[in-house]
Amino acid sequence: MPDKMPKPNVVFVLADDLGYGDLACYGNPIVHSPNIDLLARQGIRFSQAYAPSPVCSPSRASLLTGRMPARLEVTDALGDAGNKWNSGRRLNPPANPKSLALDEITLAEKFREAGYATASIGKWHLGGAGHLPENQGFDVNFSGNSLGSQKSMFGPDYGIGLTPAPPGEHLAERLEQEAEKFIRENRGRPFFLYLSHYSVHRPIGARPETVSHYPGKGPPPWGLLPEYAAMIEELDSTVGRLMSFLSEQGLTENTVVVFTSDNGAVKWWGSNGGLRGTKGTIYEGGIRVPLIIRLPDIAAAGQLSDTPVHGCDLFPTLLDIAGIPLPANRVFDGLSLRPVMHGETGFPTERPMLWHFPHYNMHGSTPATAMRLGQYKLIRFYETGREELYDLSIDPEETVDISESQPELLRQLGTRMVELLAETGAIMPQINAEYRFTEPELKELQPFESTRTKPGLMANPTSQLVPHAEGSEVTASN
């Protein structure tokens, strides 16, 4: 990038547990998401974008470093949440670290080195004291800590360590307001904003007036729990507010905006658009996610790309857009997507993508690894040694296992998977010699698992129409 060109600002909006089929612009006929839909019309929408992991912490670590979870050795959600699901099973999963290692290089560290102001606003879940955003390159940290979720979407107590909020204050709106504050204070210099929402992670909750927009769950595979659909709509309204604010500040034309999710939707209330599996699994429903990138200089707004892309690609992509070189002497697992976004040819579509999840979880997963290479996807389950092979070009729902009919292809992909696991230093699960052939009972999740505010008990502020930056109107609430 020539020195005379201003450095672009970067706003990275990350939703939590938002599924591939949870947005109107990804085909959902039920949910109202006009602002994210508009963002897609202004930029490029990817139909085959993948999260680095089916669960949160590994995905977040990879998104911020450009390195696969297996390489980072962060392969499960951090904290104690997974311990009960991984104890007493047929296999002993590898131990998960307590934090993202400080010697990993994050996007924030690279942007700060280049003179950017940096902020992490919202969920962190990559470590506690000594391993917080401020220890990983962020000048500002609002609410980021070791916790994996809120306890309520509404004040006074969100359950994430903040001082008591006004009753009925909305957490997603509070985070957006903090984002505005950061941008306002740093509009005279380039900035990198990582806005990591707690929405739409459980406990599910939304304002009753928004819930009233969704009288029923709707038909499969698009049907959403009404409270969950309302939660998406309220998240969407904050995207509209943020885009309007950027316009008011005269920053729209020099700001890159990324919107994506850390993994697929939870099966009990979200939608993965007919894809097999759910959050926590390495079927497509657990790892294929929405991805929208809005560039000031994009070749053609409203593009739809079916190029398979990976969350690790965002690290080199954003640095490339900003004219910041990749760190030397370090292996990265992503590629810059600038050629794809500008309609250029030659971007490799046959590169391997790996999802190593050697753990058990509440979503029914057992230790497994998946690899996509071109149109094919191989899954290997370690309890039984079973392998499944799918041709995603004709079967994205993974309904027809072709492993028996394609033995040579199965062998070739299996060899490549083993090589890639070795290249990334993946740690494998081990046989549990003390296994007693009894499995722990898995308790079904309930949407309103909250010890604090539930939707019917919250304050009920009046909704009002907030103009979007491009002139459309969307429902939002103070």
Among the options 25, 56, 170, 363, which is catalytic? 56
Give mean pLDDT, residues 438-445.
Answer: 73
pLDDT tens profile 352-362:
999 999 999 98
Cα–Cα distance, 106 to 133 (Å, whole number) = 10
CA distance 82 to 297: 43
- Per 3-state DSSP, what percentage of the chain is helix, strand, and coil (rounded to 5)? 25, 20, 55
Rounded Cα distance between 341 and 477, Å, is 34
- State residue 442's pLDDT score: 66
Tens of pLDDT, residue by residue over 266-319, are 998 999 999 999 999 999 999 999 999 999 877 668 999 999 999 999 999 999
Stretch 121-136: mean pLDDT: 98
Q: How confident is the model at residue 449 (pLDDT cuts 50, 70, 90)?
A: low
Residue 85's pLDDT band, with cuts at 50, 70 and 90, is: confident
Higher confidence at residue 97 or residue 454?
A: 97
Q: How many residues does the chain have?
A: 478
Of 125, 201, 356, 468, which one is the catalytic site residue? Answer: 125
pLDDT at 63 over 50: yes
Average pLDDT, the chain: 91
pLDDT above 90 coverage of the chain, percent: 82
Task: Name the pLDDT band for 466 (thresholds 50, 70, 90).
Answer: very low
CA–CA separation, 385 vs 265, rounded Å?
A: 27
The domain made up of 9-348+444-477 is a member of CATH 3.40.720.10: yes
Question: What is the pLDDT at residue 461?
Answer: 34
**What is the model's pLDDT at position 296?**
84
Cα angle vertex 151, ends 149, 156, to 5°?
130
pLDDT digits (tens, 9 = 90+) for 173-225: 999 999 999 999 999 999 999 999 999 999 999 999 999 999 988 888 999 99
pLDDT in tens, 430-439: 999 999 888 8
Has 25 been annotated as catalytic?
no
Q: Rounded mean pLDDT of 107-115?
A: 98
pLDDT of 450: 46
Average pLDDT over every residue of 93-120: 97
Domain boundaries along the sequence of the chain? 9-348+444-477
Q: How many Cβ atoms sit within 10 Å of the Cβ of residue 432? A: 14
Q: What is the pLDDT of residue 300?
A: 66
- Of the listed ranges 64-73, 145-154, 292-301, 387-396, the one predicted with least confidence: 292-301
The answer, yes or no, to whether residue 395 has pLDDT greater than 80, is: yes
Q: What percent of the chain has pLDDT over 70?
A: 90
The answer, yes or no, to whether residue 476 has pLDDT greater than 80, is: no
User: Any idea what the Cα angle at residue 304 is, between residues 393 and 316, rounded to 5°?
Assistant: 90
Structural contact between residues 85 and 362, judged by C-beta atoms closer than 8 angstroms? yes
pTM over 0.85: yes
* pLDDT tier, 472 (very low <50, low <70, confident <90, very high otherwise): very low
56 is catalytic: yes
